[in-house]
Amino acid sequence: MDPLVHFKHAHSKGIIPDDVFDLIMKRFPIVIAGINRIEKASGIQYPIAYVEPSLVVSSPDPNSYQFGILFARTIPIIFDDKFQVVIQISAPLVAYGLKGTIHAILAHEFLHFLDLMRKISKMELLSDEISGNLFENVYSDETRLFEPRVVFKDRTLLNHITNKFPAGFRDFKLEDKVMKFWANRNLPKSNISLDTNTIKLSAESLSKIKLDPAFLKKMDILEEKSSKIHKKKLY
């Protein structure tokens, strides 16, 4: 899959202007470098990723002015009875994010991917609690991830993650750029509800999913090491 296929299609339809198209095409190698970096630091292949040609926002109330910008999402899907995890990267992140920010967000979504695959391997139904509050959603997000220092053997990447995600991702300079150069130009915007990242699978569907034994073994090791770190934090 060409990760830019949807973005190129939006440009061909005149939805994405030439200057934004050229900027993202010029900066997309930063994303590729980030994915390669994460694979090298973790020893695990990155899932399928693509650039979403819109600003993705989420609001707890359709009538509220409060909203959060989602620069990337980990999306579980069922296609032709096959389970697949896809990382959606918003075009504004590619256009205006610093290299360290882009890599940190890619790594953060990779941790979501691992958590999702752990649930699948344990035959756990994917029915995460739906929060109507963006802050509560961030808290839930932080409590369910693998420990980054266990997964990534890259000190600089770990520093980026620690600095960007102390208690949920916020980058005010990036958000200002996105509002000024994307939202205020009335470029494409997608509104989603907070529950759209979840999927519920039956036990029968879960039983049909086949995972690589080597990948499962790696997951078990990461989970065990993460669990030990979590226990140390508690005591």
pTM as predicted: 0.86
Provide the pLDDT for residue 129.
46
Provide the pLDDT for residue 130.
45
Q: Are strands 55-58 and 68-69 parallel, antiparallel or unpaired?
A: antiparallel
pLDDT in tens, the chain (235 residues): 799 999 999 999 999 999 999 999 999 999 999 999 999 999 999 999 999 999 999 865 555 555 688 899 988 877 666 778 899 999 999 999 999 999 999 999 999 899 888 888 877 655 444 445 555 555 456 666 688 999 999 999 998 888 777 656 778 899 999 999 999 999 999 988 766 555 666 666 667 778 888 998 999 999 899 888 877 665 5
Q: Are strands 72-79 and 82-90 parallel, antiparallel or unpaired?
A: antiparallel
Provide the pLDDT for residue 92.
97
**H-type alpha helices, the chain:** 5-12, 18-42, 91-96, 99-121, 134-143, 148-151, 155-164, 172-181, 203-207, 213-234
Tokens (6 digits) for 192? 């989603």
